Amino acid sequence: MTTYYNGFPQSDRDEEIKMVNLDELEERAKKVMTEGAYYYIASGSENEWTWRNNTTAFNHFQIVPRALTDMDNPQTDTEFMGLKLKTPVMIAPIACHGIAHKDAEVATQKGAAAAGALFSSSTYGNKSVEDIAAAAPGAPRLFQLYLSKDWEFNKMVFDAVKKAGYAGIILTVDALVSGYREANIRTNFAFPVPLDFFTRYQGGKGEGQTVAEMYASSAQKIGPEDVRKIKEMSGLPVIVKGVMCAEDAYIALGAGADGIYVTNHGGREVDSGPATIDMLPEIAQAVNHRVPIIFDSGVRRGSHVFKALALGADLVGIGRPYLYGLALGGPKGVKSVIDQLNDELKIDMQLTGCKTIEDIKHARLTHINYTADDLKSNTDPSRIKPYPVTKDNQEKDSGNDAVSGASQA
């Protein structure tokens, strides 16, 4: 159930996950992940106000049920930039899936393909884009780019991604530096598993760097001309990720963006920023159907997917939940997470008379504001719970039990 990379424990599971909802996976994942790896996924920046409100702000919008619609058997099939999908739920890009599973992005891609979902992999992925593509030939996928200061590195990435058959590039523009992630500091987290593109370019293993150090190698300034240059050099469509206001949507469109990705990086960058769902309507109005829109941050329910689609999104990304699913169940665990959201989404579709995903885009929502919480961060020492110690979540070194991986007394 657990293997080790230089003493770092990695799940090797491949099993369906039984759950009531996605939230319960967060606590269960602690039993198979190290504390540092878990909090790299689970935490946000500073006091985590934005991280929490990304989810709670969905309550600002309410779904209006419909009756006498004479409809049943709703369908979640959809299309995005010519890619045929079985669900509007998308695997959002996250670095270093190897902290959750030994097969890393290869396992995630298999799970996404089995669910018919769009997959996106990160510049900071452990597995190569070639291995990811080979894991699910013909499956739809995009590549998320952290633009490097080194354009030779960027060109290497573009060539590999295009040759591997990726359908487009997601350019991240909202993470020019790392947010102040206190949980990463408290656990001294550094990437424990090699990152492929850094290994092949630098000749090293691409591991052992902190999040802040990784961001330092990326471009700290990105402008409209970079979007044009990436399109020209890669020969691929470019989706601009990190748009949180109408003004930036206009700039991205003017630069030739082929899609807009509305996100605040899951509350991992600017704390005290608005919840993503609250900004989606003005961005959708600015885009006005000229290019497709991807949305993520805080999605935990099928009703959240429904609301994002109704407010202007074409695809809805999930992040943390699928990594918990990956740790707990491997490829089948990732599929279980997507299936759970689809099941909940279909209930909302049935109860609102929405036969198709296109119907959801015309569904009626109401909008009532409320006061969000002002709680301390979940990783604040005054609130944090003792981290569980199991045989599957401990690192091995000379001071550890070689069988269990648990620290010796």
**Pairwise CA distance, residues 394 & 407, whole Å:** 8
Under DSSP, is residue 32 helix (H, G, I), strand (E, B) or coil? helix
Is 265 an active-site residue?
yes
- 177 secondary structure, DSSP code: S
What span, in angstroms and rounded, lies between the C-alpha atoms of 171 and 148?
A: 11
SS3 of residue 16 by DSSP? coil
Catalytic residue, candidates 60, 265, 304, 367: 265
CB-neighbour burial class of residue 360 (10 A; exposed 0-12, middle 13-18, buried 19+): buried
DSSP code, position 279: H
| Cβ atoms of 108 and 331 closer than 8 Å | yes
DSSP 93: -
Q: How far apart are CA 201 and CA 131, in angstroms?
A: 17
**Contact residues for 269 (Cβ-Cβ < 8 A; gap 6+):** 45, 174, 175, 178, 179
Tokens coding 394: 């401990």
How do beta strands 365-367 and 61-63 pair? antiparallel
Give residue 230's identity as a one-letter amino acid code: I
- Return d(Cα 53, Cα 311) in angstroms, integer: 18
298-336: b (≥16 Cβ within 10 Å) or e: bbbbbbbbbbbbbbbbbbbbbbbbbbbbbbbbbbbbbbb
* Alpha-carbon torsion (327, 331, 336, 342), positive or negative: positive
Cβ(299)–Cβ(318) below 8 Å = yes
Token couple for 346: 């279909």
Cβ within 8 Å of residue 18, ≥6 positions away? none
Which residues are catalytically annotated? 265
